[in-house]
A and B are shown apart, each in its own frame.
Chain A
Amino acid sequence: MQTCKNIKDWILTDFLDAQTDPATRKLIDSHLLTCGDCRSLVEDVTKNLAAPFKPAVREDVPEHLWSLLKQRIENEIRPVVPADGFMNRLGGFFSFSRLAPALGVLAAIILFSSLFLSHKQRERAQEREQGEYLAFLWKSANSQDSETIVSETPLEKYFL
């Protein structure tokens, strides 16, 4: 014995879409004879679900649609036209738009390397100055010793 729920599921699907096999159809028909609720559901689905779709509701495809589509396909498959001669291709290769990024990178490299080199040169100059100063100090220290020795008086010699 099928319950109303099973019958209602069938009514909403296979029964409405005429997809039921003969045995199931017979079962549904016999249930409908005795069940008012399910009969009411059949009326409901026939009126509100089947009837609105009954007339031909398909629309014609607009005529211009193929032309638009064809145009888009042709634009997509159109081959890239090569330049006429060698000079044109060469001109194209050296065009500003192609060279601009490369020139920019080159300028940046030159700027950075010049900054780096000037910094190095400054460092070397500082090191040289420091070396010269140390050499001067060393020299002056040595010369002070010799002066001390030279400048010793007889009195100093006596006490030292």
Chain B
Amino acid sequence: MQDIPDDIIIQAAQGDLPSFEVIYKAMAGFVYNVSLRMTHNTEDAQEVTQEVFLILYRKLKNFRAESSLKTWVYRIAVNYAINFTRKNARARNKMSEYHHSLTGVIVEGEAQKQIEKEHQKQCVDEILSVLNPHQRACMVLRNIEGLSYEQIAETLKITINTVRSRLKRAREKILAQKKQTDYANL
């Protein structure tokens, strides 16, 4: 995500919509993808993304340059997505429906590649689905968004050791789940 010039931030904070669009275009990818991985559902992800940017638009005038705009946006997005996920348990049920719809479909060429890509995304969703919202947030920020431990700690307002601990527990849980599934399939 590119850095946004200060004058754009100031104008957006004063309510200038074209300036706000610049901020949106720079950050929507992050917000949408985090929302998508947290909710496992495109409609919910779109709803979360809209709500996050509405909050940003309203609160931008209160933004202090103590932390970067990027970190501030990350924090709002992740916290909103975590709260949304907690309130909407239905997110977990969506995946299996989708997974079953893919089973048994044999397609060749480009369509086959597309199916494989979708299947791969589905695998990631299944991996993340066994985690609690806090662990999931850490995994998404690290494994999908590629943030460093330090950036994750800053975004979530936690220590680096807490980031480590959450990632470790999340990964242990994923491996345990995998072993359980493999054993059941024997």
The one of B28, B164, B167 in contact with A65, judged by C-beta atoms closer than 8 angstroms, is B28
> Which residues of A are found within 8 Å of B76, using beta-carbon distances?
none
Chain B proximity of A142: nearest CB distance (Å): 90
Q: A9-B168, A48-B178, A72-B50 are in contact. Are A17 and B142 (CB under 8 A)?
A: yes
In the assembled complex, the Cα of A128 lies from the Cα of B44 at a distance in Å of 79
Q: Are A59 and B175 in contact (CB under 8 A)?
A: no
Interface hit among B13-21, B80-88, B94-102, B104-112: B13-21
Q: Are A72 and B28 in contact (CB under 8 A)?
A: no
Name the CB-closest residue of A to B139: A53
A140 within 8 A of B: no
Q: Are A61 and B175 in contact (CB under 8 A)?
A: no
Interface hit among B2-10, B29-37, B66-74, B129-137: B29-37
> Which residues of A are found within 8 Å of B164, using beta-carbon distances?
13-14
- A-B contact list, 29 entries, CB within 8 Å: A9-B168, A12-B168, A12-B172, A13-B164, A13-B167, A13-B168, A14-B164, A17-B142, A44-B175, A45-B171, A45-B175, A48-B178, A49-B175, A52-B120, A52-B123, A53-B143, A55-B117, A57-B144, A59-B36, A61-B29, A61-B32, A61-B49, A62-B32, A65-B28, A66-B21, A68-B50, A69-B54, A74-B17, A77-B15
> Which residues of A are found within 8 Å of B172, using beta-carbon distances?
12
In the assembled complex, the Cα of A122 lies from the Cα of B182 at a distance in Å of 92
> Which residues of A are found within 8 Å of B143, using beta-carbon distances?
53
Q: A48-B174, A48-B178, A52-B123 are in contact. Are A65 and B168 (CB under 8 A)?
A: no
In the assembled complex, the Cα of A14 lies from the Cα of B163 at a distance in Å of 11
Q: Are A65 and B175 in contact (CB under 8 A)?
A: no
Interface size on B, residues (CB 8 A): 37
1/0 per position for B43-81, CB-CB distance to A under 8 A? 000100110011001000000000000000000000000
- Residues of A at the B interface (CB closer than 8 Å) are 9, 12-14, 16-17, 19, 44-45, 48-49, 52-53, 55, 57-62, 65-66, 68-70, 72-74, 76-77
Sort A-B residue pairs by CB-CB distance and give the 6 closest, nearest first. Answer: A53-B143, A61-B32, A61-B28, A12-B168, A12-B171, A13-B164
Q: Are A19 and B168 in contact (CB under 8 A)?
A: no
> Which residues of A are found within 8 Å of B178, using beta-carbon distances?
48
Contacts beyond the supplied A13-B168, A53-B143, A61-B28: 16 A-B pairs with Cβ under 8 Å: A12-B172, A13-B167, A14-B164, A45-B171, A45-B175, A48-B174, A49-B171, A49-B175, A52-B123, A62-B46, A66-B28, A69-B50, A70-B21, A72-B54, A73-B54, A73-B57
